[in-house]
């Protein structure tokens, strides 16, 4: 479905998850979520970014039925996740953050168990395909406790997919996973998205969100501080910095250059010119002016801010 339509912002998609005014206060009195409102579109990959303790897991657990919200409503595919939990939950698969598995069970047994638990009739052919896709087929008769951490995570994914969910939650799917497995995971997620599955993932790796997501939400201290399409976010918040390395250090910025809003760094060796969405790039006239002032440029490089920079900036601002 996403391939047919692309990720165009102006195509109206039906929200598959709708979160309204969700508040969570834990028994300790700690308010982990403060009035969260969010809609997830069908078929998109949504990345939820936030520092430790921001409330990502709490939000996912509320949607999946593991934690009860203090107030607010959530619908999944139009079904209220509390009143109509059977319909809602049968559409959802969850790979939780913690690796908790039944150590003494075999891979095959635990994945088949999950399918049954979610109300599906046995389908050995489907489970076989799933295990093959996740490179678990050779391990199907092994007890889970004999598997490596990365393998266990694949088992958790297989369990989450065993009932053919339409919505998949991945709570930090690549934490503690090596580069190769991470790449595998990403291609798996893309493959799923291509079959129409909506994916919501949380991550600490900005790189991951940048690589994968169609949209990004940033959560900090229980508040969604931003929800934006990735491309637009990069354009809106992304800034370019031109750093000019000077032959001779300057003790101050010459008055003639003040209008560019330059910064002097590295003990006067670097002149930094910041271009953001509010001013347009005017490098040639800057360079021309500098040569008129006999400031010799030794080297120059351009830096475009990554999502990481945007993220750090967002969460360091008081929420």
Partner 1 sequence: MSRPLSLPAFNRHGVWAIYKFEIARSLRTLVQSLITPVITTSLYFVVFGAAIGSRLSTPGGVSYGAFIVPGLIMLALFTESLSNASFGIYFPKFTGTIYELLSAPVSYVEIVIAYVGAASTKSVVLGLTILITAALFVPIKILHPAWMIAFLLMTAFTFSLFGFIIGILAKGFEQLQFIPMLIITPLTFLGGAFYSIDMLPPAWRTFSLFNPIVYLISGFRWSFYGTADVSVGVSMSMTVGFLLVCLGVVAWVFKTGFRLKN
Ligand X SMILES: Nc1ncnc2c1ncn2[C@@H]1O[C@H](COP(=O)(O)OP(=O)(O)OP(=O)(O)O)[C@@H](O)[C@H]1O
170 and 199 Cβ atoms separated by less than 8 Å: yes
Q: Contact letters (x/-) for partner 1, 123-162, by CB under 8 A? A: ------------------------------------x---
Nearest CB to partner 1, comparing residues 63 and 206: 63
13 and 43 Cβ atoms separated by less than 8 Å: yes
Of 75, 48, 59, 65, residue with least CA distance to 24: 59
Among the residue ranges 94-102, 145-153, 230-238, 294-302, the one whose residues contact Mg ion (CB under 5 A): 94-102
In the list 52, 68, 141, 294, the residue contacting ligand X (rule: CB under 6 A) is: 52
46 and 202 Cβ atoms separated by less than 8 Å: no
CB of 68 to partner 1, least distance (A): 6
Of 14, 35, 15, residue with least CA distance to 23: 35
78 binds, among Mg ion, ligand X, partner 1, none (CB under 5 to 8 A by kind): none
**Bridge partners, residue 170, by sequence:** 95, 201
- Surface-to-core class of residue 267, CB atoms within 10 Å of its CB (0-12 exposed, 13-18 middle, 19+ buried): exposed
CB of 121 to ligand X, least distance (A): 34
**Bridge partners, residue 198, by sequence:** 167
Q: Which of residues 61-90 bind partner 1 (CB under 8 A)?
A: 64-68, 79, 82-90
CB of 282 to Mg ion, least distance (A): 44
Nearest CB to partner 1, comparing residues 51 and 96: 96
Nearest CB to partner 1, comparing residues 171 and 210: 171
Among the residue ranges 33-41, 91-99, 197-205, 306-314, the one whose residues contact partner 1 (CB under 8 A): 91-99
Question: Strand pairing of 45-49 and 198-203?
Answer: parallel
What is the rounded end-to-end Cα distance, in angstroms, of the chain? 36
Q: Which residues contact 235 (CB under 8 A, 6 or more apart)?
A: 277
218: contact with ligand X by CB under 6 A: no
11: contact with partner 1 by CB under 8 A: no
Among the residue ranges 23-31, 51-59, 64-72, 139-147, the one whose residues contact Mg ion (CB under 5 A): 51-59
Q: What angle do CA 29, 30, 35 make, to 5 degrees?
A: 110
191: contact with partner 1 by CB under 8 A: no
205: contact with Mg ion by CB under 5 A: no
User: Which pair of tokens denotes residue 89?
Assistant: 């939950």
Please state, in angstroms and rounded to a whole number, the distance separating the CA atoms of residues 142 and 147: 8
Binding site for Mg ion (CB under 5 A): 56-57, 97
Binding site for partner 1 (CB under 8 A): 26-27, 64-68, 79, 82-90, 92, 94, 96, 98, 100-105, 109, 112-122, 159
């Amino acid at each position: 479905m996403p391939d047919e339509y692309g990720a165009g912002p102006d195509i109206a998609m039906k929200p598959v998850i709708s979160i309204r005014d969700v508040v969570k206060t834990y028994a300790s009195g700690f308010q982990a979520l403060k009035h969260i409102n969010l809609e997830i579109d069908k078929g998109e990959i949504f990345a939820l970014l936030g520092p430790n303790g921001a409330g990502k897991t709490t939000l996912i657990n509320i949607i999946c039925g593991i934690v009860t919200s203090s107030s607010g409503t959530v619908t999944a595919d139009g079904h209220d996740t509390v009143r109509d939990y059977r319909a809602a939950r049968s559409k959802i698969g969850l790979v939780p953050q913690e690796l908790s598995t039944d150590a003494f069970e075999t891979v095959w047994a635990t994945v088949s168990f999950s399918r049954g638990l979610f109300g599906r009739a046995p389908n050995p052919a489907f489970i076989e395909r799933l295990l093959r896709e996740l490179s678990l087929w050779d391990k199907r008769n092994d007890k889970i406790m004999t598997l490596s951490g990365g393998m266990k995570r694949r088992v958790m994914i297989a369990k989450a997919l065993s009932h053919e969910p339409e919505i998949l939650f991945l709570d930090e799917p690549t934490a503690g996973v090596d580069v190769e497995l991470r790449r595998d995971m990403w291609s798996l997620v893309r493959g799923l998205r291509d079959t129409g599955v909506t994916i919501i993932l949380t991550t600490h790796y900005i790189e991951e969100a940048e690589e994968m997501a169609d949209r990004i939400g940033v959560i900090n201290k229980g508040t969604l501080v931003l929800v934006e399409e990735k491309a637009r976010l990069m354009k809106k918040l992304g800034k370019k910095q031109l750093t000019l390395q000077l032959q001779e250090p300057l003790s101050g910025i010459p008055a003639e250059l003040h209008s560019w809003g330059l910064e002097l760094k590295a003990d006067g060796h670097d002149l930094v010119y910041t271009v953001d969405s509010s001013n347009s790039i005017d490098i040639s006239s800057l360079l021309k002016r500098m040569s008129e002032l006999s400031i010799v440029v030794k080297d120059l490089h351009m830096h475009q801010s990554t999502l990481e920079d945007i993220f750090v900036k967002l969460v360091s601002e008081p929420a």
